[in-house]
Amino acid sequence: MMGACPGMMMSRLRAASPAKTGRPSDRGGMTYRESHLHLTQAMVRVRHEEMLGRTGGGAYHVSTEANKATLRRWLGALNTRNMSTIDAAADEIFATVSVIHNSTNPELAGSPEDVKQAMCALLKNMPDVHIAVEDMIAEGDKVACRKVVHGAPASEGKPVSFFKLAMYRFAGGKIAEVWDLSAAANVRY
């Protein structure tokens, strides 16, 4: 809705503001300055709601395509293998409190700090890791992803490839919950 046509925004502003003309009777007894301030606040409120993707009932709505793009940004950050990029992405993409169900690392907690620590451990264990997305499907607030992880564990030095299946639940445009299943028994992340 950020690129909504001016006519749509004006109709929403009219609904949000009692000031329709310059006559005092249409301003509900407000002075011109009060009316102008009220209209400005209404404009800011409407624009803020559009930017957040809020719908008419105040429910937060982020499109499935936006959630998929967020997940792609996260996986792209991992593929840089640069911890400062990964740290910034974790802060931006993971909810402050999230739940992670991970088959290879069951003690992994869900804060962005915990995710950063897990990714640091992954890069120490597999410094040349690369994650290739094979499939990504979204519906509602969930995104399912089938990935192939390539790399050579530092302990073995021999390249490996394995698949991971993950379901991500988004809340407010951030990853709030992850269910992760891996086919690799000796690689933790």
48 shares its domain with 70: no
* 6, containing H or E segment: helix 6-16
Structural domain boundaries enclosing 22: 6-52
> CB-side exposure of 137: number of CA atoms within 13 Å?
5
Nearest Cα residue to 143 out of 133, 157, 154: 133
34 shares its domain with 121: no
Where is mean pLDDT largest: 2-16, 62-76, 95-109? 62-76
The token pair at 40 is 């400005």
Task: Write out pLDDT tens, residues 53-97.
Answer: 444 444 456 899 999 999 999 999 999 999 999 999 999 999 988
Determine, yes or no, domain membership for 57. Answer: no
16 shares its domain with 76: no
Determine, yes or no, domain membership for 27. Answer: yes
The SS3 of residue 27 is helix
Domain of 105, CATH number, reads 3.10.450.50
Task: Write out pLDDT tens, residues 32-45.
Answer: 666 656 566 666 56
Largest interatomic CA distance in the chain: 81
H helices of 141-183, where? none
97 shares its domain with 176: yes
* β pairing state of 174-182 and 94-102: parallel
Residue 37 to residue 111: CA distance in whole angstroms: 40
Determine, yes or no, domain membership for 59. Answer: no
85 shares its domain with 168: yes
H helices of 26-148, where? 32-52, 64-80, 83-93, 112-125
Determine, yes or no, domain membership for 157. Answer: yes
40 shares its domain with 128: no
106 shares its domain with 168: yes
